[in-house]
Structure 1
Amino acid sequence: MTSQLILDKVSAIFSEQLPFHRHLGLKVVRYDTEGVEVAIDMADHLIGNVHQQILHGGVTATLLDVTGGLTAFAGVVAREVDPGIELLQQKLPKLGTIDLRVDYLRPGRGQRFIATGTIIRTGNKVAVCRMELHNEEGSHIAFGTGTYLVG
């Protein structure tokens, strides 16, 4: 099994099988060993401030956290010389957030929000990632740093 096939399976799990992600309308737009892109379209149930019509801070944090987790797992897959289905079965159930820091830079205004992630460091047990959230116009809404259990 190739690295990309494993990541495609993980993408499907995160997009289609997790009820909270489905409720939010979260979509994994790009997922490979070079990067992650997760998007969400603005909807009434995502509004955190009805007067300003801005994205709820918890949704912002969730987008960054999900993106960080996907990024961390992509780092695990990238480290493997010949990844197989065992990697998915053994490592994905252990994936979890250890720490998440979110810095809110601007109110979440927009129609579409796109989170991206990059690996800072990945090891056998822990990965550290940096995530950014932008709207469809490219305004930087928030960034985060996450530490994830990966093994």
Structure 2
Amino acid sequence: MTDAEIPDQTTDLLQRYIDAHGYLSWLGMHVESMDYGTLVMTVPFDEKLTNSRPGENGETPARIHGGIAATLIDTAGGIALRPFLDDPMNDDVATINLNLNYLRPAGDDLTATAEVVRAGESVGVSTVMVESEAPDGESKPVATGQGAYRLFRS
């Protein structure tokens, strides 16, 4: 499969799947772009996703809970492998292992870029970098991860 073999409507199909998925839609996850072996997804900042505690009243900047970045890494890494499946829309992907490192707090939208490292017969591996805008206005890495996924082929 080449870049040209990924249909233009793939991003729309993935977004419809996410919109119908309870947890992913609650997070506001959005598919930005997809190429063969690469996927970009976002989760917009929302107070409901922060570590804010009652009584803080804005005393400290709101920071997005680390579990949101972990979910973004897991989801983007798995979806990036779909074009390597025999039937990308009907075959399945399941997480075998997820390893991530938090680099700094995130206080704005999260953007994940997933890259496929390898897609074998039954196991695929992706690396993912999550970035967020820092207080200085520059986009900086907030988490990085790698996932191993079981590829279920028809």
Matched length = 138
Query: How far apart, CA to CA, are the structure 1 residues paired with 2:104 and 2:88?
Result: 38
Q: What amino acid is aligned across from residue 23 of structure 2 in structure 1?
A: F
Q: Which has the higher helix share?
A: 1
Query: How far apart, CA to CA, are the structure 1 residues paired with 2:20 and 2:119?
Result: 26
Runs of at least 4 residues off by over 3 Å: 5-10, 49-52
**In terms of Rg, which structure is larger?**
2
Moved more, 43-52 or 6-15: 6-15
- Is the Cα contact below 8 Å between 1:6 and 1:88 reproduced in 2? no
Decide whether aligned partners of structure 1 residues 129 and 108 sit closer, same or farther in structure 2, where only a CA change above 3 A counts.
same
> Does 2:146 correspond to 1:149?
no
Of 68, 72, 77, which aligns to 1:68? 77
> Does 2:46 correspond to 1:43?
yes
Alignment of 1:2-151 (within 5 A): 2-4=5-7, 7-8=10-11, 10-50=13-53, 51-74=60-83, 76-77=84-85, 86-89=87-90, 91=91, 94-110=92-108, 112-136=109-133, 137-151=138-152
State the shift of 1:34 in Å.
4.4
Query: How far apart, CA to CA, are the structure 2 residues paired with 1:141 and 1:22?
Result: 22
RMSD (Å) for aligned C-alpha atoms = 2.0
Query: How far apart, CA to CA, are the structure 1 residues paired with 2:122 and 2:139?
Result: 34
State the shift of 1:87 in Å.
4.6
State the shift of 1:7 in Å.
3.3
Give the TM-score normalised by the residue count of structure 1.
0.81
- Is the Cα contact below 8 Å between 1:25 and 1:40 reproduced in 2? yes
Give the TM-score normalised by the residue count of structure 2.
0.80
Q: Which residue of 2 aligns with 1:83?
A: none
State the shift of 1:38 in Å.
0.4
Decide whether aligned partners of structure 1 residues 143 and 14 sit closer, same or farther in structure 2, where only a CA change above 3 A counts.
farther
